[in-house]
Amino acid sequence: MNLIHTLQKHLQRAFQEVFQLELEASSIKLERTLQDFSGDYTLVVFPYVKQSRKSPEQTATLLGEYLLSHQLIAGFNVVKGFLNIELSETEILEFFTQAKQDTSFYKTTIGQGKNVVVEYSSPNTNKPLHLGHIRNNLLGYSVSEILKANGYHVTKANLINDRGIHICKSMLAWQQAGLNETPESTGMKGDHLVGKYYVAFDKTYKAEIETLVAGGMTKEEAEKQAPSMLEAQQMLRQWEAGDEATIALWKTMNGWVYAGFDVSYKRLGVDFDKFYYESDTYLLGKSTVKEGLDKKVFYQKEDGSVWIDLTDEGLDNKLLLRSDGTSVYITQDIGTAQLKYDDFHYDISLYVVGNEQDYHFKVLQGILKKLEKPYAAGIKHVSYGMVDLPSGKMKSREGTVVDADDLMEEMHDEARKIILERGKTDGMNEQQIEELCEEVGMSALKYYLLRVDPLKRLLFNPAESIDFEGNTGPYIQYTNARINSVLEKAGVSANASNYAGLLGPERELILALHNYQTVLGKAAEMHNPAEIANYVYDIAKRYNRFYYDCPIAKEDVAPEARSFRLALSIITGNTITECLRLLGIKAPRKM
């Protein structure tokens, strides 16, 4: 039972009988009543006054009186053009009773029959994952799980950037100074070993530039003529020509990186259904260039380069093919979009990419629309802001990034320190303590990054994220563990079915729980896990308030009230656990 849908149907009938106004029930928008006012849900009547031919206050009053006279609600009040409605205890308890038994409560069907491809992570194979990658992966995974819960068929895709000059830089540095080092011989994760040589290349390259500038070159000339850069460019040409030795080294070093990535992904708790590789897709899109020229959607300059004019879309002229016939990145994306459509026939294709690429994806969609591709409208960019640290920005080439593996280990260690200080590990063996530290540490990291709207730039503070009080993952986990403790200690049944006359302080918590499906749908529509994160924090706060205001286990609590509150605890715990799951966070039973 959905209280909002029920109320919308009651209001639909009221509009029809009072004002002879035919409305779709779903078009009647309701919001939770603000805390400063009496009521459960609020209808803003201003949009209807032209058709009701009454003032906002009169319109709201007539609707309220109709609902009350037909015993559809418990009461109402009017504040200007706002109709605040108080639901009847019967309806609230009917929802509560059904929610106890209905497993579909944690799903919606708004995406049923629609295919979505969510592309996220998309790392380069010249360095390990860092803090920025963590935000990307967590967003992509959580958005995917939220869409699944709303009935969408979701494919999680990862486009690996495994070729190009940046990859050759690591290969060249290892070839020149690696002394045949391997992950096995060094004890390093493969992605860390390759990243070490990416940093080494940059140091050598910068030293060469300084020497050339000191010898009279401009900085721009030195950057082009530095021996390391010329050698890396030659290696790239060899790779593109299929040189056996270059390809063999490329496969070996990429293999090290993939093995390292797999370890990081597993610890981060993310997964993928499909991997694409830039080495397979970088030539895709060239056939589309010919198609665009034939349709006169693209135009060719005298030097042979191919362009598209997107000024009518508020964009600019965009290069699609260089004069030497080589493609640019947008050309590859055009081809990959077609490849993914051929593979999955998606209705929506989401790209989880930082906001520095906002313009790029506007151009991609603009090109596909001009080409009249059937999937053009489904191209969506899930944009997100940069992650900053108290110490400033991260730079991969200089080796100043916050390594993802190091950060996850730091969160584990910090969680262990706090958990042991709290003395909440009685009866747990060392393995159980380690598992709890990992779950709490990762919860702190994930929740802190996901609770903020993706569009906002984020300052990550590890110490603040792992606090057991306030708006943090550990606080929510602890609330869930408290619920499990209450249920284990109760020793009585929560299976009573008649709760009439028991609704008191529990009312607000039940209505907040009822709002779950609305929040779930909004999170899917906006591709925003922060909707779920902030909702579950609100639920945790409300439950803790309920826990202190409404005794459960005390001897003077009537059996019916105890059963009611235990049932409410079960639903709350299930809701918290499901919200955490959507965020990729585990819910320990004991903390």
pLDDT tens figures, 87-146: 988 888 888 888 877 778 899 999 999 999 999 999 999 999 999 999 999 999 999 999
* Mean pLDDT, residues 159-165 taken together: 95
What's the one-letter identity of residue 231? E
Nearest CA-CA partner of 170 in 200, 192, 190: 200
Residue-averaged pLDDT of the chain: 92
pLDDT confidence of residue 391: 62
Burial class (CB in 10 A: 0-12, 13-18, 19+), 197: buried
Burial class (CB in 10 A: 0-12, 13-18, 19+), 307: middle
Nearest CA-CA partner of 159 in 366, 339, 370, 397: 339
3 state SS of 350: strand
Sheet arrangement for strand 75-79: 30-32, 41-44, 82-86, 75-79
**Measured in whole angstroms, how far is the alpha carbon of residue 551 from the centre of its chain?**
37
3 state SS of 117: strand
Asked whether 379 and 368 are in contact (CB, 8 A), the reply is yes
Q: Which domains does the chain have, with CATH numbers?
A: 3-87 (3.30.1360.70), 164-276 (no CATH), 439-582 (1.10.730.10)
Residue 294 pLDDT greater than 60, yes or no: yes
Res. 419 pLDDT band, cuts 50 70 90: very high
pLDDT tens figures, 189-231: 999 999 999 999 999 999 999 999 999 999 999 999 999 999 9
Q: What is the pTM of this model?
A: 0.92
Query: For residue 392, what are its two tokens?
Result: 């400033």
Cβ–Cβ contacts within 10 Å for residue 497, how many? 10
Asked whether 141 and 270 are in contact (CB, 8 A), the reply is yes
pLDDT confidence of residue 493: 63
